[in-house]
Amino acid sequence: MDEPNQDAAVEAQDAEMHCIRITSHGKIQNWVSFALNFFEKKSQGTLILHTLPLGLDHLLNGSTDLVEAKIEPPSKSDRGADLAPRLISVVEIIKREYLKILASSKSARLIGLHQYNEIGCLEDVEPAKQQSQVAEEERTASILQALEGKNYLKHKQTPYMKITLSVEPLGDLADKGATYQAPLRRHLSKSAKARAKKKIAKVANSDAMPVD
């Protein structure tokens, strides 16, 4: 599923999960608006923002299986390392704006979104067939450099970054090595805190009431 303006490739994983591919030409405002609307509609939602190129979508659902896929190499302006600061900026804006929405809607929720960070290199996750092709290309380049009298071959590293935002904690991501960042907290006045506590207690009591 793409955003209406086609600035971002937004793909549905399931009813409670979406992915947004961060690019150099996309508009930050559109990504943020999409994310906030998503969390407003999905109270248990999970959103993955990433810099992976097309063709590696199997890495977004947590799968560790390497599959045959036609990988589109990132353009010079869409390198993962160059896009990482943009990805982080988008995530920080989403987290701040999410807290503002909680405040404006007088939500009883006092914390923001949970964040899980993952980084890696495309060379480590590419399909085996493509890895063998890359190895052959590197071997050829190494021979050519040796013939030219150059002793050292520069090994290509293509980093990517993936950030998962969720309403509820995702222990499985932390167990797999993702770096966890705790949610931002809302700063409430004493009266607002009291109202929030009453609202939480009211919801808890209604859930505990027996059903005839």
DSSP string, 74-133: PPGGG-HHHHHHHHHHHHHHHHHHHHHHHHHTT-S--B--EEEEEEEEGGGTS-HHHHHH
Spatial CA neighbour of 99 closest among 184, 166, 196: 184
Q: Say how many domains are in the chain.
A: 1
Domain that holds residue 122: 9-129+158-208
pLDDT at 5: 46
In a domain, 44, yes or no: yes
pLDDT at 70: 41
Phi, psi of 151 (to 5 degrees): -90, -25
| Residue-by-residue pLDDT tens, the chain, 212 positions | 345 444 444 444 445 889 999 999 899 999 999 999 999 988 888 999 999 887 776 667 643 333 333 444 555 555 557 899 999 999 999 999 999 999 888 888 889 999 999 998 877 766 544 545 555 666 666 666 667 665 555 556 778 899 999 999 998 888 888 999 999 998 866 666 666 667 667 766 765 556 55
Question: Residue 115 and residue 96: Cα distance in Å, rounded?
Answer: 13
In a domain, 150, yes or no: no
Positive or negative, the CA dihedral 48, 13, 124, 130 is negative
pLDDT at 103: 87
Contact 48, 22 (CB under 8 A): no
pLDDT at 174: 85
In a domain, 91, yes or no: yes
In a domain, 57, yes or no: yes
In a domain, 72, yes or no: yes
Question: Residue 136 and residue 15: Cα distance in Å, rounded?
Answer: 42
In a domain, 135, yes or no: no
In a domain, 144, yes or no: no
pTM: 0.68
pLDDT at 68: 37
Residue type, 154: K
In a domain, 137, yes or no: no
